[in-house]
């Protein structure tokens, strides 16, 4: 069947864009003809490098250096991104951190709070503001929120991360009626273990898992993001990307 939304000519925002899944998704958007991509992250140096890659692919790259653990900064950034881009069609709320190390229950309480602020609260802000922007312009749009398979069950060594990701799931699924009402799709994306800088590969509890699976690559997730954007039937329900087991 024909694609419903074409990335060509669209304006997008990606948070957590300096590396990992965010970088891969931003590059995918540029390769598929996005006109403007706003890259948001706390890592200014990383943003400059990704912006150069985006520009080399022929898209306009706009950078926003922001600490999403600060809600006022997050709100201001989303407002600037809408204005600077000329109107967002695609928003990928992707920025995230883990709750440790150290592992729960020895984890740091400030880190726990930051995990909820960055992973969940900033995503809620970005989704709500994005819906407002798209509704005000009467345009269909897509908002993708990076959750995790950690949202689907307990994560005893990092409950803050699991809670933040399950919150993303609940919030995004609750937005499903926006599709019928305004043509705005909100989709939670749940990647399994992906080879990104936030994965604590030296954590003891993670070793048995890492030894039994093939790690997903950021490019695998970017391809799934492309599929979600282009398929107008997808809205509300979680899209889960599983790891393949390693051959024994």
What is the spatial distance between Cα 151 and Cα 153, in angstroms, rounded to a whole number? 6
Q: What rounded mean pLDDT belongs to the chain? A: 94
How many Å from the N-terminal Cα to the C-terminal Cα in the chain?
38
Nearest partner of 17 among 83, 90, 93, 100, judged by Cα: 93
Query: Quick one: which H or E segment has residue 69?
Result: none
What is the spatial distance between Cα 140 and Cα 92, in angstroms, rounded to a whole number? 15
The pLDDT, as a whole number, for residue 248 is 57
The pLDDT, as a whole number, for residue 3 is 52
Return the percentage of the chain with pLDDT > 70, whole number.
Answer: 97
Nearest partner of 234 among 222, 243, 225, judged by Cα: 225
pLDDT tens digits along 118-153:
999 999 999 999 999 999 999 999 999 999 999 999
What order do you get walking across the sheet with 11-15 strand by strand?
Answer: 60-65, 36-41, 11-15, 90-93, 141-146, 184-191, 239-241
Mean pLDDT of 205-216: 78
Cβ-count burial 131-147 (b if 16+ within 10 Å, e if not): bebbeeeeeebbbbbbb
CA 151, 102, 41: angle at the middle one, nearest 5? 60
Q: How confident is the model at residue 208 (pLDDT cuts 50, 70, 90)?
A: confident
The pLDDT, as a whole number, for residue 139 is 96
- Assess whether 161 carries a catalytic annotation: yes
pLDDT tens digits along 46-99:
999 999 999 999 999 999 999 999 999 999 999 999 999 999 999 999 999 999
Query: Whole-prediction pTM value?
Result: 0.94
Least confident of 4-13, 197-206, 228-237: 197-206
Residue 1 reports pLDDT greater than 70: no
Reduce the DSSP state of residue 195 to 3 states and report it.
coil
**Could you tell me whether strands 244-245 and 239-241 are parallel, antiparallel, or unpaired per DSSP bridges?**
unpaired
Mean pLDDT of 176-194: 95
Q: Is the dihedral of CA 11, 116, 225, 184 positive or negative?
A: negative
Residue 182 reports pLDDT greater than 60: yes
From 161, 166, 220, 221, the catalytic residue: 161
Return the percentage of the chain with pLDDT > 90, whole number.
Answer: 85
The pLDDT, as a whole number, for residue 201 is 72
The pLDDT, as a whole number, for residue 4 is 80
What is the spatial distance between Cα 196 and Cα 193, in angstroms, rounded to a whole number? 9
The pLDDT, as a whole number, for residue 125 is 98
The pLDDT, as a whole number, for residue 197 is 72
């Amino acid at each position: 069947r024909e694609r419903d939304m074409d990335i060509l000519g669209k304006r997008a925002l990606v948070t957590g864009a300096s590396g990992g899944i965010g970088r891969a998704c931003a590059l995918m958007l540029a390769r598929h003809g996005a006109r403007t991509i706003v890259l948001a992250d706390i890592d200014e140096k990383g943003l400059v490098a990704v912006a150069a890659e985006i520009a080399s692919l022929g898209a306009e790259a706009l950078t926003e250096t922001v600490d999403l653990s600060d809600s006022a900064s997050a709100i201001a950034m989303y407002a600037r991104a809408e204005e600077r881009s000329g109107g967002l069609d695609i928003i990928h709320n992707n920025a995230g951190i883990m709750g440790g190390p150290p592992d729960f229950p020895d984890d740091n309480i400030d880190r726990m709070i930051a995990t909820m602020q960055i992973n969940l609260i900033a995503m809620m802000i970005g989704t709500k503001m994005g819906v407002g922007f798209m509704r005000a312009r009467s345009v269909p749009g897509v908002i993708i929120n990076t959750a995790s398979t950690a949202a689907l069950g307990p994560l005893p060594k990092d409950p803050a991360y699991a809670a933040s990701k399950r919150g993303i799931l609940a919030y995004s699924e609750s937005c499903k009626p926006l599709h019928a009402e305004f043509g705005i799709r909100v989709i939670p994306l749940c990647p399994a273990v992906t080879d990104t800088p936030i994965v604590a590969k030296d954590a003891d509890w993670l070793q048995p898992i890492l030894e039994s699976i093939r790690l997903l690559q950021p490019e695998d997730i970017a391809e799934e993001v492309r599929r979600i954007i282009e398929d107008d039937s997808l809205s509300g329900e979680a899209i889960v990307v599983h790891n393949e087991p390693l051959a024994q």
